[in-house]
Amino acid sequence: MKVGLKTQILPASEAAVTAAARILAGGGLVAFPTETVYGLGADATNGAAVARLYAAKGRPRFNPLIAHVAEARGALALARFSDDARLLAGVFWPGPLTLVLPKAESCPVSDLATAGLDSIAVRVPDHTIARDLLKAFGKPVVAPSANQSGHVSPTLAEHVRADLAGRIDLIVDGGPASVGVESTIVSCLGAPTLLRPGGVPRDVIERVLGHPLVIADAPSDDAPLAPGMLASHYAPKSTLRLNAIDARPGEALLAFGTDAPHAPTTLNLSPSGDLIEAAANLFHHLRTLDAAGAAIAVMPIPDEGLGEAINDRLARAAAPRP
């Protein structure tokens, strides 16, 4: 990978959107804010741009990418929608839900972006800058989280800079991502199946469908179902100890709720015990404690609502490294 690109950082504005669309059209790489996490965008129809994106992230080639479009209408050209898929798109788009669907015959997205699969992951983000950029560009944009492969996802432009400066062309700074965990991924290739818990809680989706989601079997590292689900995907450098009731000497504490025990280094995901606030703070707090170089003790997080996505990311962050 060629390092040493000059990475421009622009505050979100009309001018930044115009510059970003021009860079995408030229096959370049642009990090931009979405409501979940920052994405690293490339022209989904340009195989060379997609290859550059994989290289910039240091991402294993078999990881397929999510195609982002400005409107649900734009997704119809990419994929075939079942009735359930139509229902979910109608309720949750724009928003933090990704649908995995059969790729349309005439889908213009490069095979490299879908890793040669005959399915495609699609989402309409709920973020003004992201949608303005998608509209200005006028074609689908593939965008994995804008971190180096294996690192935690970025929720601030500064996180993107720390991981990818010198490897991408532009970062559009739109402030903190409001949701803070990645989109929920539901496959609608057959009965709707939860591939990754995320920004839309599972029960909210199930209420709309009127029946439970199928829960995907844990994938093996050889045959990843959603390869972002590799066990140690969201890995800080520090070791994590989950469900901790206190911090041992030398450990920093990632706390949750009102009864946090005392530790010299503590960050609280949500002092009031609010899972939405906790999700928004998760990756930033992990990065901050990771930079402090300590081992991290993590208090238990309730496994309801967004807690399911938070616990999923924490379990991966704590998993042994490959």
Is 36 near Mg ion (CB under 5 A)? no
Site for ligand TXA in 139-198 (CB under 6 A): 143-145, 182-183, 185, 195-196
Measured from the CB atom, the residue of 136 and 229 that comes closer to ligand TXA is 229
Which is it for the CA torsion 271, 277, 281, 283, positive or negative?
positive
Residues with Cβ within 8 Å of 53's Cβ and at least 6 positions away in sequence, in order, are 29, 40, 42, 59, 65, 142, 144
Of 268 and 311, the one with the shorter C-beta distance to ligand TXA is 311
Q: Is 27 in the site for ligand TXA (CB under 6 A)?
A: no
Among 145, 155, 268, 270, binds Mg ion (CB under 5 A): 145
Stretch 111-130 residues interacting with ligand TXA (CB under 6 A): 114, 117, 119-121, 123, 125
CB 144 → Mg ion: shortest distance, Å?
A: 5
Contact residues for 71 (Cβ-Cβ < 8 A; gap 6+): 124
Residue 183 near which of ligand TXA, Mg ion, none (CB within 5-8 Å, type-dependent): ligand TXA
76: amino acid identity, one letter: L
Alpha-helical runs (H) found in the chain: 14-25, 47-57, 72-75, 83-92, 128-137, 157-164, 202-209, 275-291, 307-318
Rg over alpha carbons for the chain, rounded to the nearest Å, is 19
H-run or E-run covering 240: strand 240-241
Q: List interacting residues with Mg ion (CB under 5 A).
A: 145
Q: List interacting residues with ligand TXA (CB under 6 A).
A: 34, 36-37, 39, 63-66, 96, 98, 100, 114, 117, 119-121, 123, 125, 143-145, 182-183, 185, 195-196, 226-229
